[in-house]
Structure 1
Amino acid sequence: MSAAPKPIVLWAVPRSRSTAFLRIMLERGDLEVVHEPFSYLQMDGHFDVAGRRVTSTTELLDVMFEVNANKRRVFVKDTSDYDYTPLLEDERLFGDVVNTFMIREPAGAISSHYAMNPKATLDEYGFEYLHTIFEAVRTTTGEVPLVVDGDDLVADPEATVRAYCERVGLEFMPEAMRWDPGERTNWQRKAAWHSEVAESSGLVAKAPPKQRETPDTNEHLRRVAEHHRPFHDALARHRLAG
């Protein structure tokens, strides 16, 4: 019997449209989809997964691998607004996981993040931390990880998802590109952050609200964008072509 495919983790800068991507993975029906476990573990000190409460990244990976081997392939989506140093010290993250990454043009991601959380710290905008994880994976494995651009995702959803699936060893399911609107129970704590996806039935590019602050109109956001852009640009050089 061949070994089970490795769990997939999508590391995403906040407000990169990663929840919409996760929604597509949910709609497939053949994956064990886990929503932001490392973030919740960081915030709360515990996370409930597969009927068990874990209190460390070591335990969380243990459960992920167990589920992946015995039930269904695991797909995890998480965000880079936290420093996951203990996790990056676990060699299994590099050898036993398919790590993928998601970015978005900084002005759009930062404006959207600021609209949700104007008190966000510089680090919480996430591009620098995302680059740290990416470099840890690349340095340890000797391979360049897959990078998805959230703007590409909404511009050409099918081609982007099809290319992603091909790279990570999933069958592309066109029927998963549409879904019934509705909130997911494990999103309730962050319902406001996921409202657009909850109200949607598929991926559609939308113009940002006209009243939203941007790096062009807000000096603080300009400095945030200037800090994070080099990290975005370094990742964008490896962007997935649909």
Structure 2
Amino acid sequence: MDNMSESGISRSMRVMLWTSHRCLSTVFTRSMGQIPGMEIWFEPYGYAYNAMLNVQLNDGIDLPTSYEGNEAIYIKASQYIGRMMSRTFQPEGLSYEKLKKMLESSTAEMVFVKDIGLAMQRDDLRELIPKGYRHSFLIRHPLLMFSSLRKANYQHLKGNNILHEGETCEAEFDMRRHIEMNNPFDYYRSLYDLWKYIKETIDPEPVILDASDLQRNPSAVLPLYCKAVGLPFTNNMLGWENAPLDDIQSWNTTCNINVQTGFFEGVLSTTRFSPPKDLPSRDELTPDVIELADEALPFYEEMYKNRLH
């Protein structure tokens, strides 16, 4: 499929960005979409992992990675995640094996896949990472990430009437109780573990970007990133027309993306990278954000030391 270098890394322009939620990854994806001819994939494995998680929570069984012969349970999986995410999912598109085949068989000259590191926690799932791609990572300080995630998750769960008993307002909301949205304790550890795995077995030089670096100086960081992963840089990546629905609806996904959720708040009106936020004071944060950020900080800090800057 691809011309491979001696290291086994594809010379073609195919890139995977592994990240966590609320790390500016959707804005970054919109920027990558300004490259002419770019094919975008939006969190294919992330959705597949969430379907797998919800089958386990609801039925107590493991969702097989193969769709063939398991169609009935995949229909249930699509219904579980569909209700939780307020979207309609294609059952077949929740199969890790199907996703690997689709990403490897793309005929586009350039492919950019934005996905969630949490989706590749297990060794058997990591074996289904598509071949022929360069790998990169986007990180963000845990205090910024979790404070943003808490707000988005609360708005989404409230809108879907799936808050827990006693969560009558945002002050009573606790992310640690909502593992149906993925276990928040796993986000940074899983991203760190995936970085180590990819570095040791797939791509010896995966690129790491920090979201605040990107926001602070996109005109310097974006060209460095493109050069490192083998993509062409264009000035249009620094600012784009405000047509988010057109952008997002052109992306390859396994569902219809509902932009009327807290997850897309801010992205709809964004036409460039905004300046980075200051770290919030711990006195202003809730106990769930503080505990999750403290747990995540060592993983973030080691990746931060190895970032592109």
Please indicate the TM-score interval, normalised by the length of the shorter structure: 0.7 to 0.9
Q: How does 1:1-242 map to 2 (within 5 A)?
A: 3=3, 5=12, 7-44=14-51, 45=77, 53-67=92-106, 70-85=107-122, 86-90=124-128, 93=130, 96-117=132-153, 118-121=173-176, 123-124=183-184, 126-141=187-202, 143-181=204-242, 182-183=244-245, 184-185=248-249, 187-188=257-258, 191-205=261-275, 207=277, 217-241=285-309
Once the two structures are TM-superposed, the CA of residue 83 in structure 1 deviates from its matched residue by: 5.0
Distance 1:74 1:214, change over 3 A: farther
Structure 1: distance between partners of 2:207 and 2:43 = 19
Distance 1:153 1:138, change over 3 A: same
Corresponding residue SS for 2:34: helix
Once the two structures are TM-superposed, the CA of residue 202 in structure 1 deviates from its matched residue by: 0.9
Per-residue CA shift, 1:205-228, capped at 9, x if unaligned? 2648xxx89575323322111110
Q: State the percentage of identical aligned residues.
A: 22
TM-score w.r.t. the length of structure 2 is 0.66
Distance 1:207 1:111, change over 3 A: same
User: Does the CA contact (< 8 Å) of 2:118 and 2:190 recur in 1?
Assistant: yes
Structure 2: distance between partners of 1:6 and 1:71 = 9
Q: Which runs of 5 or more structure 2 residues have no equivalent in the other structure?
A: 4-10, 52-76, 82-89, 154-172, 250-255
- The number of aligned residues is 232
TM-score w.r.t. the length of structure 1 is 0.83
The structure in which a higher percent of residues are strand is 1
Structure 2: distance between partners of 1:198 and 1:98 = 28
Structure 2: distance between partners of 1:38 and 1:236 = 24
Report the residue type matching 1:234 in the other structure: E
Deviates more, 1:165-174 or 1:22-31: 22-31
Structure 2: distance between partners of 1:52 and 1:63 = 14
